[in-house]
Structure 1
Amino acid sequence: MAQATTYLDHNATAPLRPEAREAMVAAMDALAGGGNPSSVHRAGRVAKRLVEDARASVASLVAAVPDEVVFTSGGTEANSLAITGTLASGAVERLIVVATEHASVIDTAAASGVDVKQLGVDSDGMADIAALVDDLQTDTRPALVCVMASNNETGAVQPVLQITQCVKEAGGRVHVDAVQHVGKLPLSPLGGAHTMAISAHKIGGPQGVGALVVRGKGRVEPMLRGGGQELRRRAGTENVVGIAGFGAAADKAAESQAQLQALAPLRDELEARALQIADATGHVGAVICPAAERLPNTSCIAFDGVKAETLLMALDLGGVCVSSGSACSSGKVARSHVLEAMGINESRAGGAIRVSMGWNTTDQDVERFCSALEQALKRIRPADAGHVSSEGHAVRTAGE
């Protein structure tokens, strides 16, 4: 008999919601005879209606109007479009990027050819607001400030409202990567941002489709040219089937946001039990940024001196799927730039795993995770008791 799988990696990809699958199958049936959303005949109008209905659903989820939603191939493209498109519009002359941003933001900024300022974070991963204000006052060139609403690795929630107010007062713009935030926490603090990236497969929709929300009269020049699609902001025939699934997932995400917020106690229970298991098996465990406001579904738990890759493999053999850091790294387990920016020492950061729950997570999933974790840690040699931080000071956590 095949081993049952416990899936706790929703921040990488949430399981496809049944409603999204049904919408995609229905769209494929509707388009079986052909139909391009840009065509004016009957078949084209059918395809166009599928796209526009989904656009309305996504807009409703993020409190936008439909014309503000630009469909893309995913969150990475949406982030890239926000940065390159805003720069190309002439609205800003430089970039400020929080050090814990997703690679799609950091790498796009690095390749932009303009001045890029990296904004540091504290030990909880919170952006240094004082340093931001100082920079905006010192360098008066208009800047695009890029900030992730909720971190994909730690779940830490940034003070986006405060950041937006500071940037607007200085005449700049704000781009928010809300890929992990949407559907899990209220979006009202993000409403003042000029652009916002979201992704279908993080909320139970299909992979390969996302959106950039461009607020009001904000101008973003297209990266892809050669067609009038998406109000000339993104050329190319739309992924109608994927977009239909995105719309259905957006509807369900709006309905089930309270359910996801209610995962916080289950997350806290998982963390407490993980630390108890670490202690009982001779390991030192620590929850990353436990005092910060975090996503209700996300836990980043580190085991000092343990190799995350070894632990992930052991958990996988036990039928449990979790991650280490971002899933956008070609399957590689490497040191997290997020934990490094937070000042987490190498021994601890190297043993950090991310557990992320979602719309179909149950108490039994947590039970199976804890059981598999206990078995895995029993087989992994505990780290040396005299662990020393990179600063040369003893680190005290649960289990010491």
Structure 2
Amino acid sequence: MTYLDYQATTPLAPEALAAMLPWLESQHANPHSAHAAGRKAKAAVEVARDDVAALMPAGGTLSFTSGATEALNWAIKGTSGPIVTVATEHAAVLDAVAAQARKGRAVTVLPVGSDGLVDFAAARAAIGPGTGLVAAMLVNNEIGTIQPIEQLAELAQAAGARFLCDAVQGYGRVRIPEECDLVAVSAHKIHGPKGVGALWIRDGVTLEPLLHGGGQEPGGRSGTLSPALCAGFGAAARLAKQRFGADHAHAEQLFRAALAHIGGDWQLNGSQGERYHGNLNLRREGLDVARLMSDVRDIAFSAGSACASGSGRPSHVLQAIGMSDAQARSSIRLGFGRMTTEEELLTALDRITAAARAQKVAA
């Protein structure tokens, strides 16, 4: 199997697995217990917390969550006042915002251009005194576009609003601007385990709890933490920090090689320059993506967000950048990174292209 679905999830790093194993095999104490074994588990959680926070802005606290979906929901539902967000956000943001709108909270959804970048004039018009929260994604999970988070956060700051950054796809790959007030991340996008994420909360920012109970985490999040998952997240974050330059250079090289290799029948969706280069979202006129995935079933890639797969709906991200339903349905997403070799990427592209051409001949 050639794995090219890094935006959906990344392979588990051996270092993350090694950090988790002791807590799965023999060290089972509750990290919130006061006895010696519990204190040892708590110490492991705190080491992991420091490692995850090391890639965040300065001046805040980090609360572990069950994943980025919980973190984003907490940040959105734990604040008040009108919300401004972007049309290409993840469903965890857009659906949470829609739920708030049904309760009477004012919501503005900003449009984007054909490159996926937010309409900044619309942002300036929408973000003003009275705005409670501005929410925007650092790196888009479908087309890889990098939003001008620093400038959007400055607009929010000037208006007295909180700024929430969905940094799930950018954490460990792209610098997170210091101006953010809330940052949501997930372990399994940086070669860590599934089932654990975090919300970074700037000092002085308070949130209403999403989950009520023991209030074990610094921001008031309730629930028993898994030392194993936290340790795996911490190890993955530490490795991402160590390998930041090398991983970035590798993704850049793979992206350049892939662009040079694909034929003119493929069009790149989204910005080529303002983009995380571990993402290729490609469109081919008339492509039957379901048939393509069946024809090259030993290559793992996507037709869009894994969270929306099986819905039958065309990508809302591709629609937001101006594509018709047919164009959106003829697009594929390839994600690659640390463990991808150039040879396997180019070989996979050759096979995908051959299968796509065979469809046209058969038609």
State the shift of 1:383 in Å. Answer: 11
- Counterparts of 1:123-134 in structure 2, within 5 Å, are 123-134=114-125
Residue 285 of structure 1 aligns with which residue?
A: 266
Residue 145 of structure 2, aligned match among 123, 145, 156: 156
CA distance in 1, matches of 2:48, 2:312: 36
Residue 133 of structure 2, aligned match among 144, 148, 173: 144
Residue 194 of structure 2 aligns with which residue?
A: 207
Matched letter for residue 265 of structure 1: Q
State the shift of 1:333 in Å. Answer: 5.4
CA distance in 2, matches of 1:77, 1:126: 26
Residue 364 of structure 1 aligns with which residue?
A: 343
Residue 173 of structure 1 aligns with which residue?
A: 162
CA contact (8 A) 2:257 2:342 kept: no
Between the aligned residues of both structures, percent identity stands at: 39
Provide closer, same or farther for how the CA distance between residues 305 and 378 of structure 1 changes in structure 2, counting only shifts above 3 A. closer
SS at match of 1:381: helix
Residue 107 of structure 2, aligned match among 98, 109, 116: 116
Most deviating of 172-181 and 265-274: 265-274
State the shift of 1:382 in Å. Answer: 6.3
CA distance in 1, matches of 2:292, 2:261: 17
Q: Are positions 1:44 and 2:38 aligned together?
A: yes
Residue 318 of structure 2 aligns with which residue?
A: 339
Larger Rg: 1
Residue 185 of structure 1, aligned match among 158, 166, 174: 174
Residue 13 of structure 1 aligns with which residue?
A: 9
- Counterparts of 1:1-400 in structure 2, within 5 Å, are 5-31=1-27, 34-64=28-58, 68-87=61-80, 93-112=81-100, 113=103, 114-137=105-128, 140-187=129-176, 190-231=177-218, 233-262=220-249, 263-274=251-262, 276=263, 279=264, 284-316=265-297, 319-332=298-311, 334-381=313-360
List gaps (5 residues or longer) in structure 1. Answer: 88-92, 385-400
State the shift of 1:375 in Å. Answer: 2.7
SS at match of 2:307: coil
List gaps (5 residues or longer) in structure 2. Answer: none
Provide closer, same or farther for how the CA distance between residues 29 and 124 of structure 1 changes in structure 2, counting only shifts above 3 A. same
SS at match of 2:185: strand
SS at match of 2:8: coil
CA distance in 2, matches of 1:290, 1:313: 29
Matched letter for residue 183 of structure 1: G
- 1:228-280 CA-to-partner distances (Å, cap 9, x unmatched) read 30025210101221111000101111111112211213212213322x1xx5x
CA contact (8 A) 2:287 2:356 kept: no
CA contact (8 A) 1:300 1:352 kept: yes
State the shift of 1:315 in Å. Answer: 2.5
- 1:108-143 CA-to-partner distances (Å, cap 9, x unmatched) read 000012111111101111111111111234xx3233
CA contact (8 A) 1:24 1:244 kept: yes
State the shift of 1:208 in Å. Answer: 0.6
Matched letter for residue 236 of structure 1: G
State the shift of 1:219 in Å. Answer: 0.8
- 1:347-387 CA-to-partner distances (Å, cap 9, x unmatched) read 32211111111111111221221231133123212699xxx
- 1:165-190 CA-to-partner distances (Å, cap 9, x unmatched) read 11111111110000000111222xx2
Residue 393 of structure 1 aligns with which residue?
A: none
CA contact (8 A) 1:324 1:333 kept: no
TM-score by length of 2: 0.94
CA distance in 2, matches of 1:39, 1:23: 21
SS at match of 2:308: coil
